[in-house]
């Protein structure tokens, strides 16, 4: 997901997005461990997506003064 779209989201939506991406990352790790994952590039993409969402969450929290 692009940073522009993430900046438009609320903190609740970012939290939901984080949970979904972490669930996807867990699934990918599990597939890799069991030998079912064909391309490992998805792991890197998922990790970067989680980091991107968490970064936007911190930015939003700072804007709101939390």
The residue ranges of every structural domain in the chain are 3-64
The yes/no answer on whether domain 3-64 falls in CATH 2.60.40.10 is no
pTM value > 0.85: yes
Give the C-alpha separation, 47 to 26, whole Å. 10
Q: Which residues, 6+ apart, have CB-to-CB distance to 12 below 8 Å?
A: none
1 pLDDT band, cuts 50/70/90, is confident
pLDDT at residue 57 in the model: 95
Residue 21 has pLDDT above 80, yes or no: yes
């Amino acid at each position: 997901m692009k940073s522009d779209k993430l900046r438009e989201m609320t903190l609740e939506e970012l939290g939901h997005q984080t949970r979904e991406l972490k669930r996807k990352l867990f699934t990918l790790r599990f597939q890799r461990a069991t030998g079912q994952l064909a391309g490992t590039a998805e792991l890197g993409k998922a990790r970067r997506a989680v980091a991107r969402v968490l970064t936007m969450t911190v930015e939003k929290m700072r804007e709101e003064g939390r």
